[in-house]
């Protein structure tokens, strides 16, 4: 075999072996590649399955859960802030209200790439994952502002991989549905910042006394301090002396973040760091709810008209009718003996003090001592139901008689023995009959029999309509003859409203505690009722003129105020025989004592008595006049208008009495004056003779 032949054969064998080895190597690479690809696919599949399983029960983006509970704010009659009430002291503001320094402080501290990412900051998340893997899970968050909104609104605070995956997923979804500005405000309006502050508006108010409409007044160091609170509100709260050092360090760190991001210059940073962290901090005053009884009535009115509203969460601004000075005086009068000498601690009172021309309630009396009204408690001013006695006569008897029958104040009635339709006798307070007398005299002296006669003349259904137009309600929509002397039940608010119509020229304004309610979105609900004419001007004035007599010379003299044009009516009720015997009350003891009166400026309805029947719980003598003294005290303190009620053109005067023009109820003809002389003497002799005969006859 030649050398050349052997070389060729060896080369062929070598090439064959090489090809075989190459084929084996290529096959192995393909196998490894295929295995790798399979692993990737399997991993993706497992990952997708795992991801799907983690988000299968993720809650939806529910817009209602993004709405934070907002506190309600109360304001007085002049729009001055009174009190904030709610589960959380929170004020919602818009993006335009946030000063740039405050926005930049939060962005630099909490999420420097907020306006660049789509809900998840990939770089921060990767770093956080690495640190969590190498340390304890949950030790690093890496959460964006969007993720924090999701976490606080939809998810539990637990630190698990599943919850974190859900947080990422929902953050991405939130970014697709809302703008960056909207998401930022969800965050800034929600976060807790210590010092009873939820959201940045509340923080500015509670730390620096700056309200939501003037946030631009926040200085750079103040903005940085607020932004620094997010990490640990209680530990960085600078109102606590033990926190000042930590709060300063944290505030300065925020300023450094702002400088690093280019939001402020180095000089601004240095200047801000020199400012004490306590500069501008207001003193903390823990104030309980003022004027609880009044605000209780306010809330009752709001909830009655705005069905389903929740004052603890919906961020209402409620503009009330309260006069804080009048209410403070009312509280002092009710709960001390400085202004009124009460017979004992059990003695109770309730009243409504309102603006005659508008029906706006300025103050209320709502019970004394153990019966003093509290917020969401029993309120004597609004919930009381007691008999008004004779104070009801202008409403159900004499007002309707003048309105429908056009009686004059001189109209004559025969005060004589009279029974109810049931046969039960009716008597006057003095147990006497007074014969023919005018309705002016009957009302002035508060006689009962003329009141019932008047109601019968008017007809009960007409009288009922008249009273209902004055805001009076009747139980079961029924009226009885005994209501002529006030055996029905009323509360001080109703009585004040009814009498104010007499004072307001016949125009009724429903008594109310609220002017308007403003919702967070700016929508306004007006609570001011429309004025309603409920009687003729002659009815209002003639009742007023008769009630002047009650105050000047009648049963309401204790309520008279020199220099003011005052009209009013007293009313008392007595215990029945069974109750007197059971508790040992005196024969002439009184159960309820009322006085309802007015001037052109204010109307006030006062009830006094005891909450329940017990031994010693009765009124006699001067105790029944306390209601008039309470009226006088309030009126003298707050009345400034000395104007007089003006007689309308529909009314004319004859002597002391008033008549309606065109009415058939006309003044009596004056008796003819006989000339002196023989005829007069003769008549006198005849009269004497007749008188003597009568004496002999009887």
Whether the per-residue pLDDT at 22 is higher than 90: the answer is: no
- The pLDDT value given to residue 607: 97
CA–CA gap between residue 626 and residue 350 (Å, rounded): 12
Give yes or no: residues 174 and 266 share one domain. Answer: yes
* Statement to judge: residues 233 and 95 lie in one domain: yes
- Please give the Cα distance from 320 to 295 (Å, whole number): 8
Helix spans in 280-361 (H)? 292-305, 324-335
309 within domain boundaries: no
What was the pLDDT predicted at 586?
93
Judgement on whether residues 440 and 572 belong to the same structural domain of the protein: yes
| DSSP class of 531 | P
The torsion angles phi and psi of 84, rounded to 5 degrees, stand at -115, 130
What share of residues in the chain are helix, strand, coil (percent, to 5)? 50, 15, 40
In a domain, 285, yes or no: no
The pLDDT of residue 4 is above 70: no
Which band of pLDDT confidence, cut at 50, 70 and 90, is reported for residue 46? Answer: very low
**Band of residue 137 on the pLDDT scale cut at 50, 70, 90:** very low
Give the pLDDT score at 5: 54
Residue 284 lies in a domain: no
pLDDT given at position 19: 59
Q: Comparing 233 with 253, which gets the higher pLDDT?
A: 253
Q: Which domain holds residue 204?
A: 88-273
Q: Beta strands of 382-506 (E only): which ranges?
A: 412-415, 418-419, 425-426, 435-438
Looking at the 3D structure of the chain, how many domains does it have? 3
**CATH number, domain containing residue 268:** 1.10.3810.10
Same structural domain, 581 and 440 = yes
Q: Are residues 31 and 171 in the same domain?
A: no
**By C-alpha distance, which of 227, 233, 503 is closest to 358?**
503
**At 677, is the pLDDT very low, low, confident or very high (cuts 50, 70, 90)?**
low
Higher-pLDDT residue of 89 and 190 is: 190
Percentage of residues of the chain with pLDDT beyond 90: 65
Co-location of 615 and 672 in the same domain: yes
Report residue 498 as tokens: 């009814």
Q: What is the pLDDT of residue 122?
A: 76
> Looking at the structure, do residues 119 and 1 belong to the same domain, yes or no?
no
Residues 42 and 183 in one domain: no
**Domain endpoint, select from 273, 288, 303:** 273
Are 365 and 426 in a shared domain? yes
H or E element at residue 225: helix 220-228
Q: Are residues 407 and 523 in the same domain?
A: yes
Mean pLDDT of 38-67: 56
pTM (predicted TM-score):
0.74
pLDDT for res 689: 40
**Is residue 698 over pLDDT 50?**
no
Name, in order, each residue with C-beta under 8 angstroms of 316's C-beta and a sequence gap of 6 or more: 72, 73, 302, 309, 517, 518, 519, 520
Q: Give the model's pLDDT for residue 659.
A: 98
User: CA 654 to CA 334: how far, in whole Å?
Assistant: 44
Looking at the structure, tell me whether residues 503 and 587 fall in a common domain: yes
Closest Cα partner for 481 from 453, 502, 462, 509? 453
Summarize pLDDT for 284-335 with one digit per residue, the tens.
665 678 999 999 999 999 999 998 888 887 889 999 999 999 999 999 999 9
Mean pLDDT score of the chain: 86
306 within some domain:
no
Residue 68 lies in a domain: no
Give the start-end residues of each E strand in 4-78. 72-75
Please tell me the predicted confidence (pLDDT) of residue 315.
Answer: 86
Q: What is the rounded average pLDDT of the residues 65-71?
A: 74
Residue 287 in any domain: the answer is no
Is 439 found in the same domain as 491?
yes
CATH of the domain at 509: 3.40.710.10
The pLDDT tens digits of the residues spanning 336-357 come to: 999 999 999 999 999 999 999 9
Asked, for residue 685, whether it belongs to a domain, the answer is: yes
Weakest mean pLDDT among 159-163, 183-187, 644-648, 649-653: 159-163
Active-site positions read: 110, 390
DSSP H or E stretch at residue 318: strand 317-320
Q: Residue 422 belongs to what H/E stretch?
A: none
Cβ contacts of residue 460 below 8 Å, gap of 6+?
Answer: 479, 481
> Is 561 inside a domain boundary?
yes
Counting Cβ atoms within 10 Å, is residue 622 exposed (0-12), middle (13-18) or buried (19+)?
exposed
pLDDT tens-digit readout, 530-560: 999 999 999 999 999 999 999 999 999 999 9
456 pLDDT more than 50: yes
423: left (phi over 0), alpha (psi -120 to 50) or beta: left
Task: List the single range of 16-20, 437-441, 611-615 with lowest mean pLDDT.
Answer: 16-20
Of the three residues 9, 38, 56, the one that is the final residue of a domain is 56
Output the six-digit token pair for 234: 């209680």
């Amino acid at each position: 075999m030649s050398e050349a032949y052997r070389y060729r054969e060896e080369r062929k064998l070598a090439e064959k072996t090489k090809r075989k080895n190459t084929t084996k190597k290529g096959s192995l690479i393909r196998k490894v590649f295929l295995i790798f690809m399979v692993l990737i696919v399997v991993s993706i599949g497992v990952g997708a399955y795992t991801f799907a399983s983690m988000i299968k029960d993720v809650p939806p983006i529910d817009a209602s859960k993004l709405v934070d509970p907002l506190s309600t704010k109360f304001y007085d009659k002049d729009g001055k802030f009174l009190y904030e009430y709610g589960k959380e002291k929170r004020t919602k503001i818009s993006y335009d209200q946030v000063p740039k320094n405050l926005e930049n402080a939060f962005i630099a501290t909490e999420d420097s790439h907020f306006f660049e990412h789509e809900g998840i900051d990939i770089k921060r998340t990767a770093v956080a994952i690495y640190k969590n893997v190498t340390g304890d899970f949950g030790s690093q968050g890496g959460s964006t502002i969007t993720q924090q909104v999701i976490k606080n609104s939809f998810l539990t605070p637990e630190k698990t991989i599943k919850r974190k995956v859900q947080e990422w997923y929902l953050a991405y979804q939130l970014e697709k549905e809302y703008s960056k500005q909207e998401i930022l405000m969800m965050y800034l309006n929600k976060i807790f910042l210590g010092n009873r502050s939820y959201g940045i508006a509340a923080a500015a108010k509670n730390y620096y006394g700056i309200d939501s409409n003037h946030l631009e007044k926040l200085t750079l160091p103040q903005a940085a301090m607020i932004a620094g609170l997010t990490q640990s509100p209680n530990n960085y709260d600078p109102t606590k002396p033990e926190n000042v050092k930590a709060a300063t360090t944290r505030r300065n760190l925020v300023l450094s973040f702002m400088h690093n991001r280019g939001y402020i210059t180095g000089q601004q940073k240095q200047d801000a760091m020199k400012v004490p962290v306590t500069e501008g901090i207001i003193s903390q005053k823990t104030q309980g709810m003022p004027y609880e009884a009044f605000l209780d009535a306010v809330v009752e009115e709001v909830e009655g008209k705005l069905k389903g509203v929740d004052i603890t969460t919906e961020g209402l601004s409620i503009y009330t009718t309260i006069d804080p000075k009048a209410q403070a005086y009312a509280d002092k009068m009710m709960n001390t003996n400085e202004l009124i000498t009460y017979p004992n601690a059990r003695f109770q009172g309730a009243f409504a003090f309102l603006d005659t021309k508008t029906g706006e309630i300025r103050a209320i009396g709502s019970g004394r001592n153990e019966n003093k009204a509290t917020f969401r408690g029993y309120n004597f001013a609004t919930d009381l139901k007691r008999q008004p006695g004779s104070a009801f006569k202008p409403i159900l008897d004499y007002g309707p008689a003048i309105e429908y029958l056009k009686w004059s104040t001189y109209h004559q009635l025969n005060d004589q023995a009279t029974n109810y339709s049931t046969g039960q006798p009716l008597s006057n307070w003095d147990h006497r009959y007074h014969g023919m007398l005018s309705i002016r005299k009957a009302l002035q002296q508060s006689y009962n029999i003329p009141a019932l006669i008047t109601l019968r003349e008017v007809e009960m259904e007409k009288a009922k309509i008249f009273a209902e137009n004055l805001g009076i309600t009747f139980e079961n929509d029924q009226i009885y003859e005994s209501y002529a002397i006030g055996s029905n039940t009323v509360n001080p608010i109703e009585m004040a409203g009814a009498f104010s119509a007499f004072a307001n020229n016949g125009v009724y304004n429903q008594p109310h505690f609220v002017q308007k309610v403003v919702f967070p979105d700016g929508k306004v609900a007006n609570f001011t009722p429309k004025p309603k004419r409920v009687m003729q001007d002659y009815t209002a004035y003639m009742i007023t003129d008769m009630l002047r007599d009650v105050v000047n010379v009648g049963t309401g003299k204790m309520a008279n105020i020199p220099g003011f044009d005052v009209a009013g009516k007293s009313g008392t009720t007595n215990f029945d025989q069974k109750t007197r015997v059971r508790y040992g009350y005196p024969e002439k003891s009184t159960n309820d004592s009322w006085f309802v009166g007015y001037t052109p400026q204010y109307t006030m309805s006062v009830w006094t008595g005891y909450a329940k029947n017990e031994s010693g719980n009765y009124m006699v003598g001067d105790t029944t006049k306390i209601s008039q003294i309470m009226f006088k005290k309030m009126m003298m303190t707050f009345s400034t208008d000395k104007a007089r009620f003006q007689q309308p053109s529909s009314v004319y005067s004859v002597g002391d009495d008033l008549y309606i023009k065109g009415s058939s109820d006309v003044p009596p003809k004056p008796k003819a004056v006989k000339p002196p002389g023989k005829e007069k003497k003769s008549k006198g002799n005849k009269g004497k003779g007749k008188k003597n005969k009568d004496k002999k006859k009887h």
